[in-house]
Structure 1
Amino acid sequence: MAEKVTLRSYPKRGREDIRNRIEELAEEVVQDHDLDEVVFVPILSGAFVFAGAFIYNLSKKLDELKKTSGLFTQIYEVKASSYEGTERRTIKIDELKLNRSIVAGRHVIILDDIFDTGQTVNEIASMVDNWGAKKVSSVVMLQKKNTHQEDEFPRKPDYRGFWVEQEFVVGFGLDYKGFCRLWGGVAPLTDDVKALIDAKAG
């Protein structure tokens, strides 16, 4: 039998708390914006769990509020990463199918799992700005406290789920070496979990 390991959850950062907060974020965005003008840009791979839950709740809120917008809303993922293990590295962006003709004149809302330095969100925002986006906003599940490099990456999230400490966190889509994405809540990566993953990953 595999050794059982657990992550110590942040207070109020379990599955239900995250789900409830995502529902609130979706309602805020539905109330604030005409979604027919919006192109949502989830950042893969980390944000896919958050983005899926967020977009599901957007659809639900549109129905509840009897909003007619949403028919022309578009969703185009980009793939970006700025971590390798727990160490930061140069960001790489793969636009996939997102291009200038899609975002020109539209309101782009970037969806990301965690805002640390802001490098990922800022670089993608600059890219779509250069492509002629009418407006660029961002929604993040987590934002780290005491975010650094503010002069280099000045753009901050427009919507935030939770603040977290300056720790390497996993769960709800956030990973370490491709593992831990299915943990239901969000928690710091503990030494025992890290050691097991390091041994498995080689």
Structure 2
Amino acid sequence: MTAAEREFEEYTGGEPLGRIVYSASEIAARVAGMGAEIAAAYPPDADILLLGLLKGSFVFLGDLVRQIRRPLQVDFLVASSYGTGTKSSGSVELLYDPRAPMAGRHIIIVEDIVDSGTTLNQLCGGIADRDPASVEICALLHKRIAPDLEWEPRWVGFDAPNEFLVGYGLDHGEDFRHLPFIACPRT
């Protein structure tokens, strides 16, 4: 048994989830690099607000903010387009709107995965209407399959396979968010 297989069994209790797509160490290295890129992208006096898109981005966001070596603030957006399925429903429901003021600030929307683009298309326009200095997207994963993506992420951790993925905050029916790696479930 390989180290990845042992890690997989340890966290899943031997449940047949498929394969590890990105290991915990690969994710950690890439998140550190993204944090450095974001810190370097703004002037020293920039007022930066990260908006984590919950629930999927919470693990990524927690690790990312510790890698951005500069002052910033964090708030959250809660939107849903999946429910308990494995494909986007095509309709986004905003369940929590950030309370933080956005006018004049550099907004970075932190997303776990870009696939259909539906969520970003619907949310980013609303954020841009609040008169921020800038709006950018930082996505851990990008499937590059959205035909009508209006807001392309500036920072991308990994180009992801066109498969359903779980772990590192991504779930299936609220399960598997705790995995320190990203895996592809068996179908």
Quickly name the TM-score band, shorter chain normalised. 0.7 to 0.9
Kindly report structure 1 stretches of 4+ aligned residues shifted beyond 3 Å.
none
What is the identity, as a one-letter code, of the residue corresponding to 2:165?
Answer: V
Contact 1:118 1:156 in 2 (8 A): no
1:154-169 mapped onto 2 (5 Å cutoff)? 154-169=150-165
Contact 1:110 1:139 in 2 (8 A): yes
- RMSD of aligned alpha carbons: 1.8
- Structure 2's unaligned 5+ residue stretches are 1-11
Q: Please name the residue that 1:93 is paired with.
A: 94
Larger Rg computed on CA atoms: 1
CA distance in structure 1 between the aligned counterparts of 2:54 and 2:172, rounded to whole angstroms = 14
Contact 1:43 1:78 in 2 (8 A): yes
* Correspondence for 1:175 among 165, 171, 174: 171
- Structure 1's unaligned 5+ residue stretches are 63-68, 192-202
Per-residue CA shift, 1:99-137, capped at 9, x if unaligned? 5xx001111100010011222122221111111112100
**SS where residue 76 of structure 1 aligns?**
strand
The share of aligned pairs that are identical, in percent, is 26
Q: Call closer, same or farther: CA 1:27–1:38 in 2, change over 3 Å.
A: same
Using the TM superposition, give the Cα deviation of residue 6 of structure 1 relative to its aligned residue in structure 2, in angstroms. Answer: 4.3
In the alignment, structure 1 residue 24 sits paired with structure 2 residue 33? yes
Per-residue CA shift, 1:62-121, capped at 9, x if unaligned? 2xxxxxx51xx221111012112213221111334435xx00111110001001122212
What is the identity, as a one-letter code, of the residue corresponding to 1:47?
Answer: S
TM-score (norm 2): 0.85
CA distance in structure 1 between the aligned counterparts of 2:170 and 2:87, rounded to whole angstroms = 14
Aligned length: 172
Contact 1:170 1:189 in 2 (8 A): yes
Contact 1:78 1:98 in 2 (8 A): no
Deviating more after overlay: 32-41 vs 114-123: 32-41
Using the TM superposition, give the Cα deviation of residue 33 of structure 1 relative to its aligned residue in structure 2, in angstroms. Answer: 1.1
TM-score (norm 1): 0.79
In the alignment, structure 1 residue 56 sits paired with structure 2 residue 62? no
CA distance in structure 1 between the aligned counterparts of 2:49 and 2:15, rounded to whole angstroms = 40
